[in-house]
Amino acid sequence: MTVNDARIAANQAPPLQDYDVFSTDDALVEAVERHGSRASLDGLAALGRLAGSHRTLHWAEQANVNAPVLRTHDRYGNRIDEVEFHPAWHHLMEAAVSHGLAGAAWAGGPAAHVTRAAGFMVWSTAESGHGCPVSMTYASVAALRADPGVAAIWEPGLKSLIYDFGLRPAAAKAGLLCGMAMTEKQGGSDVRANTTAATPLDADGEYLLTGHKWFCSAPMSDLFLVLAQAPGGLTCFVVPRVLPDGARNRLALQRLKDKLGNRSNASSEIEFDGAWARRLGPEGRGVPTIIEMVSMTRLDCVLGSAAIMRRAVTEAAHHATYRHAFGSALIDKPLMRNVLSDLAVESQAATALGIRLAAAFDSDEPAERALRRLAVAVGKYWVTKRAIGVAAEALECLGGNGYVEESGMPRLLREAPVNSIWEGSGNVNALDVLRALVREPESAEAFLAEAGTALGGDPRFDAAFGELRRGLADLDDAEFRARRLVERLAVVLQASLLIRYAPAPVADAYCATRLAGDGGHTFGTLPAGTDTKAILQRAQPRLG
């Protein structure tokens, strides 16, 4: 005889935990096999098991519930300017750094950037906030290499697999983290309006900085790349947090930002009061110097947003598999299958694009360099925006359960907008695409060559590709229609990748809705006849 126990909640999905985040993501595994190295699969699977473990998910929750705290002074009134993090934050950081997600990819190896990109996606499904210092550390090496002498000082520590937290001289640490400080109150993305002043010292390349920065994430980093006005114009500088003699550099933390999401990560306002800095690159070339770092962090915005999508879709599909209503599991309801399949198609398109972009950084071929110049900005604009809608719709798949903090879905939804804003909001990225098209026409040629390899694979794609070519040939009023143009670039490239590499039902659903217009303005409007069974097999997590 069955006895009902009121203490046990019936008809609830079990927790989505203790599974391999990597190996159960078919789209990601296939992308790594395609663009990367099969030798990396075992390591990524180990990271996938760690990312999906109960322990890691608990760290993620604790790092966000217990937000970082600014300590400007010690008990005696001495200025210390330190940020305290919950131990869970340090656990997440240690795992990320030790698995090579920070600067280690620059040490080389087969498909190092693809392997790192896949790992960053896998680990970011657990928690996104700590990805900020991890991403900036990874990206900083690209900019530091503008000056081999400066790079030689910092690069070994940035490539380390050791997480060594605390404010000490760089030479005394086993591993380093790098931050970035570009924007100011009065200018925001218009960094040429910056007023922070750089005064040259007698020693060549040394300056003192005076001014402020409105956003400086990860202020406990060991060094920062900073833009300031030198006598020769806007210039990039390396600013260490601690000087070689152990003295704290003259950098004061004013306050921490109270943000919508990304709450585990400390974002601060800072003041420079004669802070020592080392010039990176020539005076007046600050933006071209630091843009190498920005390109890499934009890549991580794509990867981080793809990770949010994957986590959101996985949670929704998992819930629908176990939740029953009106006589059957939610996942067997035709309308729910439409919603979940539409979300899954978007997620898989983001994954395919993110790993393809990472592969472009593993190559020194001119065509690949030209491709990433345009495609990274296109992907950053599009994927980061789509993640917001995916997170919201996936949350709704859980109904009221998804609106409750304990589900983890509200954190995903709050986290989703940050990647669209960070490293240039939508308009900034759209205008950057226009600059590339006009000033670097080889980037458009490389983009069309990459996307065009799918010609003949689907008539809807062929029509969209032809329309895109015509649009690129006429850039009158381009700024007004920049978003429309960038969106078309993005969906054509994603469609090309899916036609070439994804199962036919995924590519067919994408082309029907994103290219041919056979869909609505919300998720869950796939046309009749869509093979949702094949699509959902790739979306559902495999436990055990």
Q: In terms of DSSP bridges, do strands 233-240 and 197-200 run parallel, antiparallel, or are they unpaired? A: unpaired
CB 471 within 8 A of CB 491: no
d(CA 393, CA 501): 26
Closest CA to 65 of 95, 97, 87: 87
Rounded to the nearest 5 percent, the helix, strand and coil shares of the chain are: 55, 15, 35
> Exposed/middle/buried for 393, CB within 10 Å: 0-12, 13-18, 19+?
buried
Question: DSSP of 391-440, one letter per residue?
Answer: HHHHHHHTGGGGGSGGGSHHHHHHHTTHHHHTTS-HHHHHHHHHHHHHH-
What's the pLDDT at 9? 87
Distance CA 236, CA 228 (A): 7
Report residue 339 as tokens. Answer: 């919603």
Residue-level pLDDT at 542: 81
Paired strand residues for 83: 70
Q: At which residue do the structure tokens 């629908």 appear?
A: 320
- What is residue 507's predicted lDDT score, i.e. its pLDDT? 98
φ/ψ of 252, rounded to 5, equals -110, 135
Residue 4, pLDDT score: 66
State pTM to two decimals. 0.97
Digitized pLDDT (tens) for each residue of the chain, 544 residues in all: 455 677 888 999 999 999 999 999 999 999 999 998 889 999 999 999 999 999 999 999 999 999 999 999 999 999 999 999 999 999 999 999 999 999 999 999 999 999 999 999 999 999 999 999 999 999 999 999 999 999 999 999 999 999 999 999 999 999 999 999 999 998 788 888 899 999 999 999 999 999 999 999 899 999 999 999 999 999 999 999 999 999 999 999 999 999 999 999 999 999 999 999 999 999 999 999 999 999 999 999 999 999 999 999 999 999 999 999 999 999 999 999 999 999 999 999 999 999 999 999 999 999 999 999 999 999 999 999 999 999 999 999 999 999 999 999 999 999 999 999 999 999 999 999 999 999 999 999 999 999 999 999 999 999 999 999 999 999 989 999 999 999 999 999 999 999 999 999 999 999 999 999 999 999 999 999 999 999 999 998 887 6
To which H or E segment does residue 214 belong? strand 206-217
**Residue among 513, 509, 506 at smallest CA distance from 27:** 506
Pair 295, 141: CB distance under 8 Å:
no
- Whole-number pLDDT of residue 544: 64
